[in-house]
């Protein structure tokens, strides 16, 4: 009898414990996050989840009844497909990272929740902490559908060794198209397979000439605008210096090219030792801002990794709180200096002199990028327009530019502009 009483008592203990943990698990809310492994910028990093893990730890301190989960090991180049499948099945995460090239599609398809209501109702949120171009990257159709987590502008790599051999000083951050063309012309020697620039396009020129290819609402194309035609012509003049030779990436890697537009993340990743030796070891190099056109400034394109909330999430309020931590908390954002190669979209973090000096202390010749220069780059940078038919319209514009040239340029541009406008307003 005592044995049966003991067994019954033990059973009651286990049953009570099971009920307790069952009730506890029912009270715990699970918040899911979509994230990729590695670096979107294709640069070497350490623990790719450290920033997210630290934000989650801080979030769960404030919300002990919430458990945050994410699937690890999703390769960067497979993330878009993984997310698309989740959305099709209706099992997408509550909060997820949005790659720049996916934002238009996700916003136009209704997959992202509009954030304007959260922003207006939250007295602790101040959108002015972000650089305006970074925040603008998450705008679609006049509404805010994502917040910026990390940004990378385009800058100009400079082969210092090649310039010094020609007796040419490193250009400063206020240089112009005229300076750029003059240096390229002096450096180029087709017989020696030595060239001025690789990878500079009419779009690079467009941004720095104060031009916009499309209206903000995506209903008008300005391909025939004088500023854009000047940009196309300037890019063509640079290409003509090569005498018909097509410059390739290997030419730059071997030290035969003076300039190449690159993402700022490349500069941060490959200037410090030992990565500097592994990537570009055959010549000394540094970076400057993009050259300014006659109607513009030293402006470049901005690429921004975004965070968005699923429009079907049942935990949107909690997702908003975690999103704020990841995008606006200065402690979390400051970790970008350690665990990534981008620039924080938060102004106070990006321009923090102490953090900047620590960062640039590891980069030879990096004194050119002071907090003031970073401010100038980030406040004037331009993001690609965000509207539903942008990708198709951009293909049409690039095709028109490729087919134009000589005396037919203006006529071809006008025709293409009409065709694109018809397409945009169908």
Tens digit of each residue's pLDDT (9 = 90 or more) over 271-313: 654 444 445 557 888 889 999 999 999 998 999 999 999 999 9
> Is the same domain home to 168 and 229?
yes
What pLDDT is stored for residue 360 in this prediction? 61
d(CA 168, CA 145): 47
Question: In the predicted model, is pLDDT for residue 14 greater than 80?
Answer: no
- CA-closest candidate to residue 350, choices 154, 53, 58, 151: 151
1 within domain boundaries: no
pLDDT digits (tens, 9 = 90+) for 162-205: 999 999 999 999 999 999 999 999 999 999 999 999 999 999 99
Burial state string for 238-272 with b = 16 or more CB within 10 A and e = fewer than 16: bbebbeeeebeeebbbebbbbbbbbbbbbbbbbbb
Single pTM value for the model: 0.86
Judge whether 81 lies within some domain: yes
CA distance 227 to 205: 9
Residue 161 lies in a domain: yes
Residues ≥6 apart with Cβ < 8 Å to 260: 156, 157, 197, 198, 199, 200, 252
Distance CA 299, CA 289 (A): 8
Q: Are residues 314 and 370 in the same domain?
A: yes
SS3 69: strand
Q: Is the domain of 129 the same as that of 271?
A: no
- Identify the burial level of 234 via C-beta atoms within 10 angstroms of its C-beta, where 0-12 means exposed, 13-18 middle and 19 or more buried: buried
**Is residue 65 located within the same domain as residue 138?**
yes
Asked if pLDDT for residue 18 goes beyond 60, the answer is no
Task: Domain of residue 395: give its range.
Answer: 154-301+385-424
Report the distance separating Cα 213 and Cα 224, nearest Å.
9
CATH code at position 271:
3.40.190.10
Q: 220 in a domain, yes or no?
A: yes
The verdict on residue 374 lying in a domain is yes
Give strand pairing partners of 139. 144
pLDDT digits (tens, 9 = 90+) for 346-391: 999 998 877 676 666 555 554 566 778 888 889 999 988 888 899 8
104 shares its domain with 215: no
Residue 351 within any structural domain of the chain: yes
- Is residue 15, in this structure, part of any structural domain at all? no
Do 53 and 177 lie in one domain? The reply is no
Is there a single domain that holds both residue 245 and residue 312?
no
Is 324 a member of any domain?
yes
Residues 257 and 268 in one domain: yes
Q: For residues 101 and 116, what is the distance between their CA atoms, to the nearest angstrom?
A: 22
**Count of structural domains within the chain:** 2
Do 48 and 124 fall into the same domain? yes
Same-domain status, 291 and 308? no
342 and 389: one domain? no
Q: Where are the beta strands (DSSP E) in 199-342?
A: 257-263, 285-288, 302-309
Q: What is the pLDDT of residues 127-149, one digit of tens each?
A: 999 999 999 999 998 999 999 99
Q: Quick one: 170 and 205 in the same domain?
A: yes
The tokens describing 420, both together, are 């694109």
Cβ(286)–Cβ(368) under 8 Å? yes
């Amino acid at each position: 009898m005592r044995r049966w009483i003991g067994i019954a008592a033990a059973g009651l203990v286990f049953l009570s414990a099971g009920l307790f943990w069952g009730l506890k698990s029912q009270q715990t809310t699970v918040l899911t996050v979509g994230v990729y492994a590695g670096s979107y910028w294709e640069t070497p990093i350490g623990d790719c989840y450290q920033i997210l893990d630290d934000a989650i730890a801080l979030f769960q301190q404030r919300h002990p009844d919430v458990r945050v989960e994410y699937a690890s090991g999703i390769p960067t180049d497979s993330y878009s497909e993984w997310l698309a499948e989740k959305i099709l099945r209706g099992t997408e995460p509550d909060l997820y990272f949005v790659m720049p090239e996916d934002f238009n599609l996700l916003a136009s398809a209704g997959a992202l929740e509009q954030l304007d209501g959260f922003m207006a109702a939250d007295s602790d949120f101040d959108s002015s902490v972000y650089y305006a171009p970074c925040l603008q990257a998450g705008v679609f159709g006049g509404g805010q559908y994502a917040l910026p987590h990390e940004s990378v502008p385009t800058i100009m790599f400079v082969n210092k060794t090649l310039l010094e051999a020609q007796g040419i000083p490193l250009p400063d951050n206020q240089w112009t198209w005229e300076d750029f063309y003059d240096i390229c012309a002096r450096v180029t020697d087709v017989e020696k397979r030595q060239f001025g620039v690789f990878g500079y396009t009419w779009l690079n020129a467009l941004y720095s000439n104060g031009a916009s290819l499309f209206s903000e609402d995506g209903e008008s194309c300005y391909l025939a605008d004088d500023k854009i035609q000047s940009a196309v012509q300037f890019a063509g003049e640079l290409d003509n210096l090569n005498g018909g030779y097509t410059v390739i990436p290997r030419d730059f890697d071997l030290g035969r090219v003076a300039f190449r537009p690159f993402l700022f993340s490349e500069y941060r990743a490959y200037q410090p030792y030992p990565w500097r030796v592994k990537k570009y070891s055959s010549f000394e190099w540094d970076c400057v801002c993009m050259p300014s056109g006659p109607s513009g400034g030293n402006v470049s394109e901005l690429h921004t990794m975004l965070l968005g909330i699923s429009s079907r999430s049942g935990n949107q309020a909690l997702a908003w709180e975690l999103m704020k931590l990841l995008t606006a908390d200065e402690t979390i954002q400051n970790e970008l200096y350690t665990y990534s190669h981008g620039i924080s979209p938060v102004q106070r973090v990006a321009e923090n002199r102490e953090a900047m000096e620590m960062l640039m202390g590891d980069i030879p010749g990096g004194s050119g990028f002071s907090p003031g220069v970073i401010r100038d780059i980030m406040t004037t940078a331009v993001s690609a327009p965000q509207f539903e038919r942008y990708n198709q319209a951009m293909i049409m514009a690039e095709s028109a530019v490729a087919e134009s040239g000589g005396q037919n340029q203006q006529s071809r541009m006008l025709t293409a502009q009409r065709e694109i406008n018809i397409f945009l307003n169908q």
